[in-house]
Copies of this chain bind each other. A is one copy, B any other.
Amino acid sequence: MTSRIVSVLTLGVTDLARSSAFYERLGFRRSNKSDEEIVWFATGGTVLALYPWNALAEDATVPSEGQGFRGTTMAINLSSEREVDEFLERVKSIGGTVVKQPQKVFWGGYSSYFQDPDGHLWEVAFNPFTPVDASGKLDIRE
């Protein structure tokens, strides 16, 4: 049986144009289905979407106020420690905030965290035990 997948991951953002440019500079490919109300990044699996923060809350019929830790992180896995370092340099150069400097971590990998312009937390990691393809797809199947 095919596993269910997460069809779409949507991040609420306060400036759609700014966030769209941010993620494009990180290597996400913007779909031409995007418009001034929503931005789609076609990834070959889970689609990453950007949508105005308040409109996203409204769509879910919940209050838009929120603060502190969001209990959700995204990860970009790369193929070496050097790629992690270089990626974090790019993040800094385009306005991301480094939260955790790249470092060796307890599970044997090399990891760092940054926040996008709206505070969404991303891990950037090299996992020596789990290979990734050129896009960052993890080889976890069964």
A residues engaging B (CB < 8 A)? Answer: 1-12, 26-29, 31-33, 40-48, 53, 56-57, 59-77, 99-100, 105, 111, 113, 118-121, 123, 132, 134-138, 140-142
Are A140 and B42 also in contact (CB < 8 A) when A9-B6, A62-B121, A135-B2 are? Answer: yes
Q: A69-B62, A72-B70, A72-B72 are in contact. Are A44 and B5 (CB under 8 A)?
A: yes
Q: Say how far A25's CB is from chain B's closest CB, in angstroms.
A: 11
Q: Is chain A's interface secondary structure helix, strand, loop, or mixed overall? A: loop
List residues of chain B with CB within 8 A of the CB of A42. Answer: 3, 140-142
The distance in angstroms between the C-alpha atoms of A12 and B71, with both chains bound, is 5
